[in-house]
Amino acid sequence: MAVKILIPYNFTINDEKSIDFVGQRYARKKDAEITLFHAFTPVPEIDIRNNPIMDKVIRNTAYLRGQQDDQKNALEAGRRKLINYGFAEHQVQCLYVPVRQDIANHILWLWKTEKFDVVVLNRNPGNIINYFSRSISKRITRHVEGGIRVHIVN
């Protein structure tokens, strides 16, 4: 029976631990399907008409597009790392999509629509934002229903 695994990936050291966990735990499963998921903030399209003020905007949007290219490359590097653990290339997919809603809700939506069996999350210890809002892992585990395994990697 195939095991579908979702790894939300935000390019942190803790996300690397999630990749390592999946590589060590599931590499022997030849029917595993892994999806690395990252939702990015899209760069707005701006209509520019030979305006000196807009030149700075052009440079800033070019910089943001460059960062998106770097993120795509980092996501592919995570995919390569999983392949190095022994997964076949066709077993590991990357999903790089513009953010359309809250990240936790997007992960839950993916889980329900794509029928993932396992979601591998991590905690961000010491993250100051967690003092002011609930972490993604806490929000997801609160809404998990039967039939899915959630691994939280420290």
Cβ 9 vs Cβ 18: under 8 Å: yes
Q: How many CB atoms lie within 10 A of CB 72?
A: 14
Mean pLDDT, the chain cut into blocks of 10 residues (154 residues total): 89 90 91 94 72 70 86 95 95 92 84 88 59 62 67 78
CATH for 3-153 (3.40.630.30, 3.40.50.620, 3.40.1190.20, 3.10.129.10):
3.40.50.620
Looking at residue 78, its pLDDT comes to 95
Looking at residue 149, its pLDDT comes to 75
All structural domains of the chain with their residue ranges: 3-153
Which pairs count as long-range contacts for 121-128, CB under 8 Å and 24+ apart, including other chains?
121/8, 121/18, 121/150, 121/151, 121/152, 121/153, 122/12, 122/14, 122/15, 122/17, 122/18, 122/152, 122/153, 122/154, 123/14, 123/152, 123/153, 123/154, 124/12, 124/14, 125/154
Q: Give pTM, 2 decimals.
A: 0.80
Cβ 83 vs Cβ 89: under 8 Å: yes
Looking at residue 5, its pLDDT comes to 94
Looking at residue 52, its pLDDT comes to 67
